Structure 1
Amino acid sequence: MTSYDADRAALRALFDVGLKAADPAVCVPPHLPAPPEGRTIVIAAGKAAASMARAVEDNFQGHIEGIAVTRYGHGTECRIIEVIEASHPVPDDRGEVAARKLMQTVTGLGPDDLVLCLISGGGSALLGLPAEGLTLKQKKAINKALLASGAPIGEMNTVRKHLSAIKGGRLAQAAHPARVVTLGISDVPGDDPSVIASGPTVADKTTLADALDVIARFSIAISEEVRAHLDDPGSETPKPGDPVFEGNSYVLIARPADMVEAVARAGRLMGYDVISLGADIEGEAREVGKAQARMALDLAEKMKPDARPVLIVSGGETTVTVDRPGGRGGRNCEYLLALAVALDGDPRICALACDTDGIDGSEDNAGAIIDPGTLYRAEARGLKPAKYLADHDSYTLFSATGDLVMTGPTLTNVNDLRLILISPPKVF
């Protein structure tokens, strides 16, 4: 038991508030369309796919059929809709098979039919169907290189869309002339539907030239076949104004901004002065951590002894450029370790950083919580925090200090939540 347990518990409770704000069981039902004259095909893809599909089963008023593809471990039992689990963030054969089956399901529909598409973050990797002439192996290699490059999610998805047979509006193209209604849970800064899961039902504003530019800027190695595909004008994705999108609709039912605002409201009710930095923060995780540490320290220095605690809330999606392979830890733990090193055990500050899908990167934790004793606990075990940060090995350090947050898959995904709690000085 430490003097910071109450602060740690408060931060953990606020994370739960954020998760509840994006719960598909709450967010899906108000936006369900009326049943059509023809068939209703439910297509779901992403980390929240199974839970969104279940919400449709529990609330839709007409007959449905369909498929949901989600990450391994993120499934939930559905009575009608088939749930397929596949690999994320690097695609695998099951994702390719699922995406091909999904495309076959929507092909041949008529104007009286409805495709209810449920899209959430992670759908891009899970729908691993290569464009004609390309292989999944080629897509996996490029995807892996993009993940390690530090490229923002929007730029990664620009490339993914142009190597895919399903993304970048091609699902809507296959479903035409059926009406497509998409309910989306956003996991991207700015909430652009064409970026969420690489926009399978949305007109693509990016081009083949844009994809080649991303590949060049981030020095991504590509094969001759991929180069030829991206050089072929016939490989271009459907654009705004294409008739295949007429009559379709897209509703964002949960956004990172909604999550951040819900947490901010809860923080105020808990008696904190809240500073919201918004839900669209991007950048290198360790640099964001250092910058927010400077902000927290500055606020702490100005805080009077009788002041109320201050809660800094932010969302978004940072990146990690892996220059030393072999370490363990996702972007939230890397951010948090950089924050902890910069805070240097300041007795006034605790913090949490977690991914709302429950998985930080490819590990089994959602993120971590630090308090002023974190660095002490690490050094007492012979661990040098600065070295672990340099080695991108934040998971190992936080596992040793007992600071990891374990939730398991949350079955939603509205990106990351970062909380910094600043209080008057305490005695450790």
Structure 2
Amino acid sequence: MPMPDRRAFLASLFDAAVRAADPVESMRPHLPARPRGRTVVIGAGKGAAQLAQALEALWDGPLSGVVVTRYGFGCATEAIDVIEASHPVPDGAGLLAAQRLFDAIAGLDEDDLVIALICGGGSALLPAPPPGMTLEDEIAINRVLLASGAPIAAMNVVRKHLSTIKGGRLAAATRAPVVSLIVSDIPGDNPAHVASGPTVPDPSTRHDALDVVRRYGLALPQAAIDHLHSDKADAPRPEDPVFGRHSHRVIASSGVSLEAAATAATEQGIPAVILSGAIEGEARDVGLVHAAIAREIATRNRPFSRPVVILSGGETTVTLRGAGGKGGRNGEFALAMVQAIDGYDIEVLAADTDGTDGTENNAGAFCDGMTMQRLRDRNIDAQQLLSENNSHAAFDAIDDLFVTGPTGTNVNDFRAILIR
């Protein structure tokens, strides 16, 4: 199979994974019953606008409300307002959007219904610092967390105890029942961790948040540390009666999308195996593990027989080591693999299902057993760029970036490794 055909094959698996998380199809079987009163929609995340658009197409009755998404990720809606704000670092637009969500559900009662559309990215898009903290503090907190290498669940434990909207607080602010429709980008699909759970509480405490701060050596602003030492940081508990009238449904996840990709591969004559949809850890280390498995198949035909495509998902992390490097966790995964599969008949696609890897416009990158040679031919030092967290520069130089544009969903990392 020539390289262009291999890449088209891997891209088709990515497309199948994204289609499996299509907002309309994934939402359809999970719609709640119409209430006697009003139906108000709130939401946050990189796919929130597309979820709102899908709900408008499916809902049999009047709607109103507001959702917030990342700049450039909006789409046309009729009754639901779409606000765009900054991601992955919060800004003032997100601060105003958080207040708009509270305003939308104010004054509702038991006869009304709130539908919350929650997906990955909502943590940054809903800054709501508590008294004694500022937006600048929350921006600093996010920068520290993003550079820490901490897993997303640990990051969100800290975020939800330094907020007036996360940790179930948004849902606790209304008398109306809240039905949360959640697209999970979290390994393990814990709904309370998606977007730091604005409508779904969890049992973590401010003491757990302080443990994360100590474990990862997080240099948070003093105002944040002071808040975590105060009982004002405690989020409402899951057993609080206020949550008795609320419910949540995970409507799309990495596991479902990987199954769809495996089916698409089989239909094209290539057997597929799914390692896991919940892989975490340093992106470069995860890349090396995947490379070792791929080499074992390529050289010894074990633990799986050739030809085969290995699929995996989850959410890896990147500990920032360089200054000014560009690229996200999927680019870093691929650049680590490049050096470990040099000379092997292996083709790789690593991408984020929302269409954006890090802060650039690419979803991820392709690489194969000849990528190192192409880099050497251009006098590009792959190890140096990896040490600088600058994977984007490497793959951009050899035209190996994978660009899709916003996909309208987000079930996190997608990795496909083809061994012929």
> TM-score normalised by the shorter chain: which range applies?
over 0.9
Deviations 1:341-382 (CA, angstroms, capped at 9, x unpaired): 011131x11000000000001111000111222222111111
User: 1:414 aligns to what?
Assistant: 411
Deviation at 1:308, TM superposition (A): 4.7
User: 2:125 aligns to what?
Assistant: 126
Match of 2:296 among 295, 298, 305: 298
Deviations 1:214-245 (CA, angstroms, capped at 9, x unpaired): 11222222333222211111321000210110
Deviations 1:297-317 (CA, angstroms, capped at 9, x unpaired): 01111239xx75111000011
User: 2:281 aligns to what?
Assistant: 283
Q: Secondary structure at the match of 1:246?
A: helix
Matched, 1:98 2:94: no
Deviations 1:56-78 (CA, angstroms, capped at 9, x unpaired): 11111111100010001110000
Match of 1:206 among 204, 211, 228: 204
In structure 1, distance between residues paired with 2:232 and 2:7? 55
Match of 1:358 among 347, 350, 355: 355
In structure 1, distance between residues paired with 2:388 and 2:165? 37
- Superposed counterparts of 1:188-267, under 5 Å: 188-267=186-265
User: 2:271 aligns to what?
Assistant: 273
In structure 1, distance between residues paired with 2:207 and 2:173? 24
Deviation at 1:390, TM superposition (A): 1.6
**2:141–2:221 Cα contact (<8 Å) kept:** no
**2:297–2:306 Cα contact (<8 Å) kept:** no
Which stretch of the first structure deviates more once superposed, 337-346 or 152-161? Answer: 337-346
In structure 1, distance between residues paired with 2:223 and 2:330? 36
In structure 1, distance between residues paired with 2:326 and 2:211? 30
User: 2:379 aligns to what?
Assistant: 382
Structure 1, unpaired ranges of 5+: 424-428
**2:307–2:419 Cα contact (<8 Å) kept:** yes
**2:144–2:220 Cα contact (<8 Å) kept:** no
Give me the TM-score of the superposition, normalised by structure 2: 0.97
Identity of aligned residues (%): 51
Structure 2, unpaired ranges of 5+: none
User: 2:335 aligns to what?
Assistant: 337
Match of 1:394 among 388, 391, 395: 391
User: 1:166 aligns to what?
Assistant: 165
Moved over 2 A (4+): 222-225
Which stretch of the first structure deviates more once superposed, 270-279 or 82-91? Answer: 270-279
User: 2:81 aligns to what?
Assistant: 82
In structure 1, distance between residues paired with 2:96 and 2:163? 13
CA RMSD of aligned residues (A): 1.3
User: 2:19 aligns to what?
Assistant: 20
In structure 1, distance between residues paired with 2:196 and 2:340? 36
Matched, 1:152 2:151: yes
Which stretch of the first structure deviates more once superposed, 104-113 or 49-58? Answer: 104-113
In structure 2, distance between residues paired with 1:121 and 1:280? 15
In structure 1, distance between residues paired with 2:46 and 2:379? 37
**1:188–1:195 Cα contact (<8 Å) kept:** yes
User: 2:58 aligns to what?
Assistant: 59
Which stretch of the first structure deviates more once superposed, 350-359 or 23-32? Answer: 23-32
**1:271–1:308 Cα contact (<8 Å) kept:** no
The one-letter amino acid paired with 2:155 is M
**2:140–2:221 Cα contact (<8 Å) kept:** no
